[in-house]
Amino acid sequence: MGSMRVLFMGTSNFAVPTLRALIASRHEVIGVVTQPDRPSGRGLGLTFSPVKTVALDMGLSIFQPEKVSSPDFVETVRALSPDVIVVAAFGQILSQDLLEIPRYGCLNVHASLLPKYRGAAPVSHALFDGETRTGVTIMLMDAGLDTGPILLQREVEIMPEDNQGTLESRLADLGANLLVEALDRLEEGTITPVPQDDSLATKAPSLKREQCQIDWTKPATRIVNLVRGCTPRPGAYTWWKGKELRVWRCRVCDNTPGASPGEIVSVGKDGIVVASGAGSVLLEEVQPENRKRMTAADFARGQHITPGMHFSSEPG
């Protein structure tokens, strides 16, 4: 069997296992396209993407166009003559001109069972919705947003303790292996693209910071799922005495009749029990503004928190 000339496009940590799997495969990675270096941190020094870091370590050719679909870069890609373009958590839309260059097309590693959760944040939205199963899709890209025909899918169970970070990491590893299998079978001609059923499609747009603010009038299950879907990024939060309090870990508690949403029901070694619109939430790990993460029990001791006090759903 031969090997394909693969141009890889990816940026975030989710894309790294796919790049490593391609490097370890029989296929040839002819270049890596990733987002331009961005200012980051207090000193605002330029930070490399996780994909660029791996590509540098492996001595691969790196391209960082501001716009991947600019005419100049399209010509650069054409000159590279890839057999296939592989895209994973890249962060830019590919133009039709780019999509038409490789003879095997452009393959995308997507962290959901398409057509469910089309968009940039499929893992978070699956957790928000309380899904118990999700998976990875390898699809042939078209001009739409995650609308192309499906090549392969694999399903995984979502564990109760999973958050965005842990689930995304598992899906990234699964997607990496599935992508290499898809390339091998494409080359062998043993895979058939299956069109998506658009009537079953749901959306998973990028998260806005304000979406991660806890609304204590919501049911406890919804609040816990919000925290899971926002952890570690961008982070779920509530308000305590006018200051933001990040919530890292929590779980649903038994119902607490008579307490108003946001009211602290009890404080103990396991954490802080807070009433919600239905049921209550045990806060287990939190992070005050400009402080390190700590157990909710330690936070309660330091703040002298007692039952009857309230967390707020907004500052002030």
Half-sphere exposure of 83 (CA within 13 A, CB side): 12
pLDDT for the residue 235: 97
Mean pLDDT score, 132-139: 98
β-strands 45-47, 62-63 pairing: unpaired
The total number of residues written for the chain in this structure: 316
**Mean pLDDT (the chain, rounded):** 95
Alpha carbon 52 to its chain centroid, in Å, reads: 18
- For residue 1, name the pLDDT band (cuts at 50, 70, 90): low
Half-sphere exposure of 30 (CA within 13 A, CB side): 17
Residue 257 scores a pLDDT above 90: no
Residue 42 scores a pLDDT above 70: no
Query: Residue 110: how many CB atoms within 10 A of its CB?
Result: 26
State the alpha helices, DSSP H only, in the chain.
16-24, 50-57, 71-80, 96-99, 122-128, 164-188, 220-230, 296-303
pLDDT, tens digit, 9 for 90 and up, residues 211-234 = 999 999 999 999 999 999 999 999
Q: Which of 90, 174, 171 is nearest to 124 (CA)?
A: 171
pLDDT for the residue 40: 76
DSSP per-residue string spanning 110-147: ESS-TTSSBSS-HHHHHHHTT-SEEEEEEEE--SSSS-
Q: Which of 221, 306, 307, 214 is nearest to 258 (CA)?
A: 307
- pTM, full prediction: 0.95
- Could you give the CA distance from residue 110 to residue 89 in angstroms, rounded to a whole number? 8
- Could you give the CA distance from residue 160 to residue 251 in angstroms, rounded to a whole number? 10
Residue 251 scores a pLDDT above 90: yes
pLDDT, tens digit, 9 for 90 and up, residues 172-214 = 999 999 999 999 999 999 999 999 999 999 999 999 999 999 9
Q: Domains of the chain by range and CATH?
A: 5-200 (3.40.50.170), 209-303 (3.10.25.10)
Strands (E), 241-296: 243-253, 264-268, 271-275, 280-288, 294-295
